[in-house]
Amino acid sequence: MAITVVGSVAYDSVETPAGKYERQLAGAATYFSLAASYFTDVRVIAVVGEDFGHEQEAIFKAHKIDIQGIERAAGKTFFWQGSYMENLNEAKTHQTDLNVFAGFQPKIPDAYRDSEFLFLANIDPLLQRRVREAMPHVKLVAGDTMNYWIKDHRPALLEVLAGLDILLINDTETRMLAGKNNLVLAARQVLSLGPKTLVVKHGEYGATAFFAPDITKGDSATAIRAFRAPALPLDEVVDPTGAGDSFAGGFFGYLASQRDITPGAFRRAMFYGGVMGSFAVERFGTERLQHLDRKEIDSRFNLFRELTHLE
Amino acid sequence: MAITVVGSVAYDSVETPAGKYERQLAGAATYFSLAASYFTDVRVIAVVGEDFGHEQEAIFKAHKIDIQGIERAAGKTFFWQGSYMENLNEAKTHQTDLNVFAGFQPKIPDAYRDSEFLFLANIDPLLQRRVREAMPHVKLVAGDTMNYWIKDHRPALLEVLAGLDILLINDTETRMLAGKNNLVLAARQVLSLGPKTLVVKHGEYGATAFFAPDITKGDSATAIRAFRAPALPLDEVVDPTGAGDSFAGGFFGYLASQRDITPGAFRRAMFYGGVMGSFAVERFGTERLQHLDRKEIDSRFNLFRELTHLE
């Protein structure tokens, strides 16, 4: 089933201990849609400037990603410059030019309206909410956010959370959103804000899904169930940019490819999230995500299984 | 098969956000031997002072732990006072009185000499080495160390590492020992120092075992194989003291209980390590480790399986 994703399509300039690159196609919606495209049909809603051309379009088209929802506006595409020279786990931002993104008003093409899955990548929660409300019939909606929205746009963010099936954020964001340091207590607090499932991304330590108690199945109101997926121990992280968005794309893409979202399908989706995140960081930018095939992906999935399973 | 463990038996005074306690029986060898005692026979080599009495002996004896290797010396038992008020992952030391431990000369009772497993808990590498050399016929030897020995006693520590089958340390210690920030590269470097297996403990994120390449099986010299075991997401960590030693006790105790150390047995041992660590931190000091039974332990083992397995 098709996924519609709304988020940023951008140019990044990035420096890491392994090297650097200038103005390459990036952005959360780009990483997400490339990762998800190996599993299902993906449709993108975003805005770009006049500097977005055939070369960039071709990257999406090579993965059969629908980009009729990528609007061309007068001006330049969103630009981010950052580095990871001291700490591969945390980007240092040197420059952020919102450009055309500052006036982004998501428009949903008619052809996207039968999408059954919706992913709200990390953008202004007011826009996330608007897209969510414009697509009331989706079967499953997941989203991301970041410290900036949690700190300074809380009321708007809370309205988004109330409408989410799955929230995917990292450890720091979970603790900040809940105002609690213990991760389980923080997760319980976040789940009380609306999401039925919280996926906490731990970077090199993998990710944990926390499920809201299902009182119809006899869970107590404070019960919490969880599932932990590993990350692959890598001897070189070339570029951590987009790892979280690639996780989300692998995770949600796999879920959307399944007829029913069983507990088993959900667990496999967590593994595929880790798999796509591990590919993303092996090369600069989106390079590795552009050139994969399903066989490589499934072979790495099996590696994740061997890494964690008793037999 | 029996394990001999050499290490500290101590009194701890500890404060955590959940409360505090004064002068309770503790020390690496105590946590280790209590955790391991649920799986196999354990024999302790340590030194205590005149303040170590029947009450403390009874704790070991209730678990059939052999303490004829615990020497009584004139003076007071090793004392440590610490707190975890700001960060549950890192102890702040307020006082360390080595007392009788300062002159510790490990003596190995004859009855211990048929032990097939040896655990060198975190003590002066000179003493670790002496015990190792006095027990040349053990089948498997594992050990722990800490930042102090890595930084200031490196030559002595390197001699210990050369004789280890398994080294168990945490992330920070691994990076410090190898002088490398990437965990896989650091692990590869540590494995080149002697241990055939390195178990890196990640605290709330579980633990990873890294196996040295087996060139007789066609591994390349830089190949690395790994296994990741989870930690249990806990809604309250009452007292983190001894978590790592309890992990080591569960891990090595389970291994020693197996007729053959197959890859499957090793993986289950990693899970039992996490299980015993998760119990340890649920109550103050060694309280929880003192009052377990194998049924509770195996029930939590199954929880760890559910937490990580696809089906």
CB B286 within 8 A of CB B268: no
Residue A10 phi/psi, 5-degree rounding, is -145, 175
**pLDDT category, B223, cuts 50, 70, 90?**
low
Nearest CA in chain A to B311: A264
**pLDDT category, B43, cuts 50, 70, 90?**
very high
Q: Mean pLDDT across chain B, nearest whole number?
A: 95
Indicate if the pLDDT at residue A221 is higher than 70.
no
pLDDT greater at residue A164 or residue B224: A164
pLDDT, tens only, A26-77: 999 999 999 999 999 999 999 999 999 999 999 999 999 999 999 999 999 9
Interhelix angle A125-134/A154-161, rounded to 10 degrees, is 30
The pLDDT assigned to A217 comes to: 73
pLDDT, tens only, A9-26: 999 999 999 999 999 999
Would you state the structure tokens that stand for residue B42, as one six-digit string? 């354990």
The pLDDT assigned to B221 comes to: 65
**pLDDT category, A162, cuts 50, 70, 90?**
very high
Q: Which residues in chain A are contacts of B228 at CB distance < 8 A? A: 206, 230, 233, 307-308
Say whether A233 and B271 touch across the interface (CB within 8 A): no
Other Cβ atoms closer than 10 A to A128: 30
Q: Which residues in chain B are contacts of A310 at CB distance < 8 A? A: 264, 267-268, 271, 305, 309
Give me the percent of chain A exceeding a pLDDT of 90. 94
Indicate if the pLDDT at residue A223 is higher than 90.
no
**pLDDT category, A214, cuts 50, 70, 90?**
confident
Any CB–CB contact under 8 A between A271 and chain B? yes
What's the Cα-to-Cα distance from B265 to each of A310, B117, B164, B261, B270, rounded to whole Å? Answer: 9, 15, 19, 6, 9
Mean pLDDT of A175-202: 96
The pLDDT assigned to B86 comes to: 84
Say whether A308 and B227 touch across the interface (CB within 8 A): yes
Indicate if the pLDDT at residue A216 is higher than 80.
no
Indicate if the pLDDT at residue A118 is higher than 70.
yes
Q: Which of B185, B233, B268 is facing A310, going by the closest CB pair?
A: B268
Say whether A182 and B228 touch across the interface (CB within 8 A): no
pLDDT, tens only, B102-142: 999 999 999 999 999 999 999 999 999 999 999 999 999 99
3-state secondary structure of A70: strand
The pLDDT assigned to A86 comes to: 84
**pLDDT category, B216, cuts 50, 70, 90?**
confident
Rounded Cα gap, residues A146 and A90, in angstroms: 13
Mean pLDDT of B166-176: 97
Say whether B233 and A308 touch across the interface (CB within 8 A): no
The pLDDT assigned to A222 comes to: 64
The pLDDT assigned to A146 comes to: 96
DSSP bridge pairs for B48: B72
The pLDDT assigned to B87 comes to: 86
The pLDDT assigned to B198 comes to: 98
The pLDDT assigned to A248 comes to: 98
Nearest CA in chain B to A306: B227
